[in-house]
Amino acid sequence: RYGKKSGRALRFGLPAGVDAGRVRRIADGVFLTRDLVNTPTSDMGPEDLEQAVRALAARHKAEVSVVKGDDLLERNFPMIHAVGRASAGAPRLIDMRWGQQGAPKVTLVGKGVCFDTGGLDIKPSSGMLLMKKDMGGAANVLGLASMIMDAGLNVRLRVLIPAVENSIAGNAFRPGDVLASRKGITVEIGNTDAEGRLVLADALALADEEEPQLLVDMATLTGAARVALGPDLPPFYTSDEALASDLAAASVAAEDPLWRMPLWRPYDAKLSSKIADINNVTSDGFAGSITAALFLKRFVEKTEGWAHFDIFAWNPADRPHGPAGGEAQGIRALERIIAKRYG
């Protein structure tokens, strides 16, 4: 899009008996994810991300609704509003629905932070260089949604994307602020650079109200996950043992690496606040990925089949399975599970 094209066309050969249609559907979803992540924020702000959702929806006759700007306060999404209000691009919650009423409900929630400066707890320059990819969770759930809709699976699909930029201005949210949430839980802000969990929390609370059979959220959420497992192996968290088993098996079958991490309840205390129900970060910095997952779990009360994926959404270098840049992680394994359960 931004450089000269090589002019080389790729041609793939498939062994006899391989479902070429399924291969194409999966490839299209992966390429969509990569393209969205690779697009600079100048062309992939909240409005652009909304248009990308609308384009995907139009191809599959899905419905899209959007709550934007100050309407987020009227509709009770205060944390999405707080994180995104300092940006020139209005924050919004994008809601796409597809499939027949009465079909099993599958809801995908993707973190859509189109750029993350860190807010008032500002990142250093080196920490911002890849922050166009902080909407990698949104890109991944859209790639997965593309696979599901292309296959015509028997599900009632819902995709929720809180799309914001975490920017700096006079009206930016601050360390020490206490935010209300859709769930009614009050959140003390220990660090404005832990904003992804805030926007996800409001979206997850909405998703949980419908009690879907499967609820998946994907987010480029913590550096701690990369310290623990590196860029190639995304951790996932769930209390659903059957879902955990299915994910482990699908990960191997699809050659789509995933690793289960624990929702270690004793670490809940690390998120305590003296003035609010919860803090958005721990005071000691330990177990950052686990405590982020525990934070999100407080906003999923009714849905048993919930899984959280803390992804990197980026290849640091060219690999046999994909070029350097934006990457789909976990969605091929998830496609396999959803197709098996609801196909």
How many domains are contained in the chain?
A: 1
Among residues 197, 226, 270, 297, the one annotated as catalytic is 197
- Indicate whether 165 pLDDT > 90: yes
Assigned domain for 4 exists: no
Assigned domain for 331 exists: yes
Q: Hey, what are 337's tokens?
A: 């599970």
What would the mean pLDDT of 59-73 be, rounded to a whole number?
99
What domain range includes position 237?
20-342
Distance (Å, rounded) from C-alpha 92 to C-alpha 89?
9
- Indicate whether 38 pLDDT > 80: yes
What would the mean pLDDT of 326-341 be, rounded to a whole number?
98
Assigned domain for 192 exists: yes
Q: Hey, what are 287's tokens?
A: 């177990």
User: 140 falls in which pLDDT band (50, 70, 90)?
Assistant: very high
* Residue 197 annotated among the catalytic residues of the structure: yes
- Indicate whether 86 pLDDT > 90: yes
- Indicate whether 9 pLDDT > 80: no
Q: Hey, what are 19's tokens?
A: 């479902």
What would the mean pLDDT of 78-90 be, rounded to a whole number?
99
What would the mean pLDDT of 261-287 be, rounded to a whole number?
98
pLDDT of the residue at 158 = 99
pLDDT of the residue at 17 = 87
Assigned domain for 6 exists: no
Pairing of strands 306-310, 92-98: unpaired
Residue type, 163: A
Assigned domain for 119 exists: yes
The mean-pLDDT minimum among 2-11, 286-295, 308-317 falls in 2-11
pLDDT of the residue at 5 = 77
How long, in residues, is the chain? Answer: 343
Assigned domain for 94 exists: yes
The mean-pLDDT minimum among 140-144, 282-286, 292-296 falls in 282-286
Assigned domain for 9 exists: no
What would the mean pLDDT of 233-253 be, rounded to a whole number?
99
- Indicate whether 343 pLDDT > 90: no
Write the CATH number for 182: 3.40.630.10
User: 1 falls in which pLDDT band (50, 70, 90)?
Assistant: confident
Residue 74 CA neighbour count, 13 Å, CB half: 6
Assigned domain for 7 exists: no
Among residues 22, 123, 260, 341, the one annotated as catalytic is 123
| pLDDT tens for each residue of 212-227 | 999 999 999 999 999 9
Closest to 119 (Cα-Cα) out of 180, 72, 165, 73: 165
**pTM higher than the cut 0.85:** yes
Q: Give Cα separations from 16 to 11, 19, 20, 27 (angstroms).
A: 16, 9, 10, 18
